Amino acid sequence: MILFLTASYCGADTASEPSVKLNEISMTDFSDTVKKNAQIKVLDVRTPQEYMEGHVPGAKLFPLQDLQSQGASAVEKIPFTKEDTVYVICRSGGRSKVATKILNQLGYSNAINVQGGTAGFISMQNKVEK
């Protein structure tokens, strides 16, 4: 009898990383937060072209690519402090999830990924700035 043993390595690269719970907010809750407080801090991690096509009112642009390439030196250029509650948004929620993890590693413990992204924000009939 021949016995085959297999091992799954899916996610094995995360075994060495500490498990960090990602802070997230639903689009419904985010939309309500924006309506209640126009002064919230929103970091848009899309491309400049996407940002110009329409963004959450008051959102500041800092593309994910720049965040990834600049590493720790990005902290000096991010328009918010590490103590601020920062809502991180992209088009649909994928890039913002990556950016939120990077921000957490850089010491932004109050960075919150916006699920559904700008597309979700628009689909809920919210107005965007251009």
Assign residue 49 the CATH number of its domain.
3.40.250.10
Residue 6 lies in a domain: no
Residue of 90, 99, 112, 114 marked catalytic: 90
pLDDT of residue 66: 96
- Report how many domains make up the chain: 1
* SS3 of residue 23 by DSSP: coil
Contacts of 74 (CB under 8 A, 6+ apart): 62, 66, 67, 106
Residue 111's domain spans which residues?
Answer: 22-123
For residue 103, being part of any structural domain is answered with: yes
What pTM was estimated for this model as a whole?
0.84
Does residue 14 form part of some domain? no
Whole-angstrom distance, CA of residue 7 vs CA of residue 99: 31
Residue 45 lies in a domain: yes
Assigned domain for 13 exists: no
Residue 3 lies in a domain: no
Position 20 scores a pLDDT of 61
d(CA 85, CA 40): 8
Q: Is residue 70 part of a domain?
A: yes
Does residue 82 lie in a domain region?
yes
Mean pLDDT over each residue of the chain, to the nearest integer:
87
Which ranges of the chain have pLDDT less than 50?
1-17
Residue 2: predicted pLDDT: 41
pLDDT at 21: 79
pLDDT, position 18: 53
Catalytic residue list contains 10: no
